[in-house]
Amino acid sequence: MAMEKKARNVGKKMKGKVKEGTGKAVGNESMEVKGKAEQAAADAKQTGQKAKDTLGH
């Protein structure tokens, strides 16, 4: 189960990077900001998952 969540978070981070890059390429600042936000959210979830793994849950 933990591996599924980690993979999902990596996928969300990649999606955010693509969205950010697309936003930069087409000059859409809103899309760029949304991409950065998706990456930050995925990083936060990944950090939480790592903490759970460290605590042994």
pLDDT digits (tens, 9 = 90+) for 17-34: 999 999 999 999 999 999
Q: What is the pTM of this model?
A: 0.83
pLDDT of 54 higher than 90: no
The number of domains in the chain is 1
Are 16 and 35 in contact by the 8 Å Cβ rule? The answer is yes
- Report whether pLDDT(57) > 70: no
Determine the structural domain holding residue 48 and report its residue range.
2-55
56 against 21, higher pLDDT? 21
Average pLDDT, the chain: 92
